[in-house]
Structure 1
């Protein structure tokens, strides 16, 4: 039995759910309310001391880190493969996913919190002392520093400009990849498409789709992947309208 500790709108969790759905793997849901801090509860910290989701538990084995989980699912379950056979194409796929771990994932968190989610935290912790108490519950000191910057500085955070520049580069590269192909890899739909979809959709939910206004092939790629059953099961059915509405009201920086 597979258990997935996840959250409805987490981009990392969405990525893993997409793989599970495409490969038609049955799994048991352990949904965590991140805004309520359920990831910091002792029982979950035993599974992942870093207090981040998703976490996959398979036959008692604990697997963390979303890209690692995606590779694990691909290797453990041979149904509907999402990695090409050709070694050079596999290397190309791994290069795409490495970009998420090398900064793009943190950058989407910066954009999301600076533009939208910080408002929710400030409403929950209305005094300076209450906010400090919340920040002190974050076990990773570096993560706590990042959270403090995003929540307090918002649109003024220098990290926001860096994050936006990184995603402008990604969108350009994605547009090049799908200009003459239906999918990111020329060999067909792969882990890369399902890995990047949640990040591009998050930008769209944050009213930043103008990033690809000059690249109609991005919209065409989105239309194709949203037509898959995996998208419906793994993302659409889990959409939290409260958070989508919150992101729709976010401040939008000049691009």
Structure 2
């Protein structure tokens, strides 16, 4: 494998998912922490082909830089690590099970992730972005290629809160916790039966909601046990070891737009 570098934020959301997938794969790839709220994702040394990171659906997620190409999207990166490792078990080999996993991950990315990002950014990063001086914020905004993502940065800067969107986001988080609870009803330990990317991606987005939306988890004993199993998994512990702050679950940056899956 040619030299590659994984640039990541604090282990929360997509950065947690990708760091855990890398640890699970056992691949020897250098990891470098960047401050996503300072726009450091847009000034990676040696990045020549940046379309994948510029147009990433998940917003300010991690970036794998390989041969000048920026590779992005947590699910795709986890698949890349699994394939590069010669199959480390992150993807089901059965065709139907693989399809089911990908459908679950797509709904996680397009329904759960935007809801979590909206709640999390308002709760934790709005004050940081709002306190930036105009020159610093302007420099970050100019570096953001996607108009949609730039608008989310501006909304955060201006403390623009859509009450209906916030309530809808809370509902979607609660619905996804319920979905996890139901998936585990047959006694399985992991969402797809065997451990997979679906567990990493879902856990990475739900983990910060355990504190911010605690009511969504009330009475969900199977989901709580599943989250505890993941919390104890070595790859999650390895990912969390990359944190540079006391509580990485409070580290958010503008994420995906809420416009998919209803």
Q: TM-score when scaled to structure 2? A: 0.80
Within 1, Cα distance between the matches of 2:164 and 2:142?
23
Unaligned regions of 5+ residues in structure 2, if any?
253-262
Q: 1:154 to 1:214 in 2, by over 3 A?
A: farther
SS of residue in 2 equivalent to 1:46: coil
Query: What is aligned with 1:178?
Result: 184
SS of residue in 1 equivalent to 2:37: coil
Q: 1:70 to 1:245 in 2, by over 3 A?
A: closer
- Superposed, 1:99-178 pairs within 5 Å as 99-125=107-133, 134-153=140-159, 155-178=161-184
Query: What is aligned with 1:30?
Result: 32
Query: What is aligned with 1:14?
Result: 16
Pairwise CA RMSD:
2.7
Higher relative contact order (CA 8 A, sep 6+): 2
Within 1, Cα distance between the matches of 2:165 and 2:108?
16
SS of residue in 2 equivalent to 1:4: strand
Relative to structure 2, which stretch is displaced further, 130-139 or 58-67?
Answer: 130-139
2:84 aligned with 1:76:
yes
Q: TM-score when scaled to structure 1? A: 0.82
Q: 1:131 to 1:33 in 2, by over 3 A?
A: closer
Q: 1:121 to 1:150 in 2, by over 3 A?
A: closer
Asked if the contact 1:122/1:151 (under 8 Å) is kept, the reply is: yes
2:214 aligned with 1:209:
yes
Within 1, Cα distance between the matches of 2:237 and 2:223?
19
The alignment covers a number of residue pairs equal to 243
Asked if the contact 1:113/1:151 (under 8 Å) is kept, the reply is: no
SS of residue in 2 equivalent to 1:145: helix
